[in-house]
Amino acid sequence: MNIHARSWPTEGLTRIPYWIYSDRDLYAQEQERIFRGEAWTFLCLEAELPRPNTFRTANLGDMPIVVTRDRDGAIHAFENRCAHRGSLLCLKQRGEAREIVCVYHNWTYDLTGKLTGVAFRRGIGGKGGMPADSRPDQHGPRQLRVETFAGLVFGTASAGVAPLEQYFGPEIAAKIRRVMKAPARLLGGYSQILPGNWKLYMENVKDSYHASLLHMFFTTFRLNRLSQKGGLVVSEDGGNHISYSYTADVAGKEYEQAGMRSAQAGYGLEAPELLRNVDEFGDGIGLQILSVFPGFVLQQIRNCLAVRRVVPQGLDRTELAWTCFGFVDDDDTMTELRMRQSNLIGPSGLISMEDGAATGFVQRGIRGAGGGESVVEMGGSGTSSEESRVSEAAVRGFWKAYRRHMGI
């Protein structure tokens, strides 16, 4: 498909055409123009490479990646693909190794991704093997630029994209540092498959007002109400955002007056300690959801901290990988608190299981919509930061960045 053959609605960012989620040729071009283009992709936490000679797998869009810490402690990332027949090099998600050996024909690589050995390259007994002028290393896995920031590891296939902190912008960088205040300690993780296009989940993350409508647990137990003080921060280019709210609920009457189900009285938890929290950041903010274009999310929900990787696996299939963490200086009480609150998130989390279903409902609902389009007018038509979360400014910001990367 020639993407320029499709026209974006004349209303601009307040209308999102449904074909954007369902065109296979467009999906392929996203991989080149965004994920392998002028963007940084989150790969892992530094804590997931705890020692020299460790590795973990990740993705650059739908391209499989290996991230390593070599014997000197330097971090590298390269395509998880053997130069010989294209087999995956690393089959395990994480591990320790001094070298990487392809299981198919035993071609060997060091932890920088450099080819170091070819089994039977000279044949046996003067017969067989590769020609003397063969250069198999010229077909090696693609190397990525790697930068780290506050314990987060990002990679890009682009030589021209701006340095990582500049890519974030000052406000986003400051709020990342706020959460990543100390070296991370891994607590565990989840992975789930969402039945929808990757962009639908990123819209969901940036949609700050659905949480008080879709997630009944949130509002029933006053974890997140739009009456709480908070706001949105949207980066200048639109692609990165922060949604935040303070723990205190300043006014709940709007919910009761509207008769919303989430405001019904009489609910109680048999284990109320689930929602006990500590203001560990000292600013009263109980919820901060931060995203970086195209597919990274950093969350703070009370004391539940996690990173999320949004990995496209096809037109209507997305992997969502969650990694929960605390800090190396947490005591046992704080670790137990974080682990308890981790029940809030993940595939069956009390406040997140609906997101995967809702985005899947959209993917199914638009199949017969033809030339239809979404209406994205909450908060107006702009992409500016604001103090209200009753807004789709960050959603419009995502599409502002997307259109720039895709040239549409």
Model confidence pLDDT, tens digit, residues 349-368: 888 888 888 999 999 999 98
Taking residues 400-405, what's their average pLDDT?
98
The boundaries of every CATH 2.102.10.10 domain in the chain are: 41-147
367-384 average pLDDT score: 91
Question: Which segments of the chain belong to CATH 3.90.380.10?
Answer: 170-406
Whole-angstrom Cα distance, residue 175 to residue 204? 20
Separation CA 194–CA 313 (nearest Å): 10
pLDDT band of 1, cuts 50, 70, 90 = very low
The answer, yes or no, to whether residue 60 has pLDDT greater than 90, is yes
pLDDT over 80 at 244, yes or no = yes
One of 3.90.380.10, 3.40.50.720, 1.20.1430.10, 3.40.50.1970 is the CATH number of 170-406, namely 3.90.380.10
Write down the pLDDT at residue 368: 86
Cα–Cα distance between 405 and 387 in angstroms, integer?
28
Tens digits of residue pLDDT in 174-229: 999 999 999 999 999 999 999 999 999 999 999 988 777 776 776 676 665 666 78
Mean pLDDT estimate for the chain: 90
The fourth-level CATH superfamily of domain 41-147 is Rieske [2Fe-2S] iron-sulphur domain (2.102.10.10)
Looking at residue 313, what is its pLDDT?
A: 96
Q: Beta strands of 107-265 (E only): which ranges? A: 108-109, 115-117, 145-149, 152-156, 184-194, 228-234, 241-249
Burial class (CB within 10 angstroms; exposed 0-12, middle 13-18, buried 19+) of 329: exposed
Percent of the chain with pLDDT over 90: 74
Percent of the chain with pLDDT over 70: 91
**Span 240-252, mean pLDDT?**
77
**Cβ pair 54, 68 in contact under 8 A:** yes
State the Cα–Cα distance between residues 390 and 300, nearest whole angstrom. 20
Average pLDDT over residues 5-24: 92
Q: Which residues make beta-bridge pairs with 147?
A: 154
